[in-house]
Amino acid sequence: MAGVSSELRVLIVDDDALVRAGLSMMLDGVHGIVVVGQAADGDEVSAAADLHVPDVVLMDLRMPRVDGITATRRLRGRHDPPEVIVLTTFDTDENILHALRAGAGGFLLKDTPPAEIVTAVRRVAAGEPILSPQVTRRLMDRAATQADAFERAQAALAALSPRENEVVLAVARGRSNAEIAAELFMSVATVKAHVSSVLTKLDLDNRTQIALLAHDAGLA
């Protein structure tokens, strides 16, 4: 969303009053940016957006009543929504991915230098997604790890017979031995034998590990 004036309108959402004050002082001193409002919790965001019509929302993640990911999803579901930059101390893979899936246009850590936060506000307002270097590295590492796990899982399953792969898929879907026997038209004893063979061939300890391997291979 782009404002009709030359100034970018920013709403700050954080349950820490000192953080809100610090960000407000920093941004209000920047030419072309004006802080139009603040909110102390995610449940205040919709009303604040209605009142202040921001171009960009700086959104904390951890708040007492409604978290930043939920608030971001609600904002991005509005007609002509503001852009959202998540600004947080929590950079776990899950937080990053959930925020981006909720529609956040940026993800920055709170120790990001002020000049970079200002740049992020301007870039995200212009429709250009931005991630802090630490976040970019985490996503790259995660992608590389997932790719490696996928290749390893695919190679492992290639060593199994077609029937054993069918059993692996059924195990991954949470089926019991009796249910697998009914689905694949074999005896329970035969199912147990296939499961035992899979565990031995793949050097696994239990059915949970079979299910995880199938997940890594993209089968479940």
Tell me the domains of the chain and their CATH numbers. 8-131 (3.40.50.2300), 145-216 (1.10.10.10)
* CA–CA dist 121, 105 (Å, integer): 10
pLDDT tier at 25 (50, 70, 90 boundaries)? very high
**Mean of the pLDDT values across residues 29-57?**
95
**Mean of the pLDDT values across residues 149-176?**
90
Give the pLDDT of residue 2.
Answer: 47
Q: Spell out a b/e string for 17-29, using b for 16 or more CB atoms within 10 Å of the CB, else e.
A: eebbeebbeebee
Give the pLDDT of residue 142.
Answer: 67
**Mean of the pLDDT values across residues 25-31?**
91
Question: How far from the centroid of its chain's Cα atoms is residue 163's Cα?
Answer: 36
Phi, psi of 11 (to 5 degrees): -110, 130
Collapsed DSSP state (helix, strand, coil) of residue 173: coil
Q: Report the run of H or E that residue 175 belongs to, with start and end.
A: none
Give the pLDDT of residue 213.
Answer: 87
Give the pLDDT of residue 184.
Answer: 94
